[in-house]
């Protein structure tokens, strides 16, 4: 049986925690940041956990 290859684009965009959760970057960081308050900008710097259905999809893609 051949080795399973990782999809590099997905491995660069998502992080896997030790407990098995998948993290993604917060949305809305590319442009129009002048309108945001400082609190909103700080909160968007953090990583966000994926929902359960999205996590299942990403797990399949990570192992292919």
Sign of the torsion formed by the C-alpha atoms of 11, 50, 22 and 42: positive
In this prediction the pTM is 0.73
Mean pLDDT, residues 9-21 taken together: 89
Mean pLDDT, residues 37-64 taken together: 90
Residue 22: exposed, middle, or buried by beta-carbon count in 10 A (0-12, 13-18, 19+)?
A: buried
pLDDT, position 64 = 62
Query: Does residue 8 sit in helix, strand or coil?
Result: helix
The full set of domain ranges for the chain reads 8-28+35-63
| Cα angle for residues 45, 19, 44 (degrees, 5° grid) | 10
For residues 10 and 4, the answer to whether their CB atoms sit within 8 Å is: no
């Amino acid at each position: 049986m051949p080795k399973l290859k990782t999809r590099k684009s997905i491995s660069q965009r998502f992080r896997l925690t030790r407990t098995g959760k998948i993290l993604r970057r917060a949305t809305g960081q590319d442009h129009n940041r002048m309108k945001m308050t400082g609190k909103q900008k700080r909160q968007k710097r953090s990583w966000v956990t994926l929902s359960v259905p999205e996590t299942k999809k990403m797990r399949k893609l990570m192992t292919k």
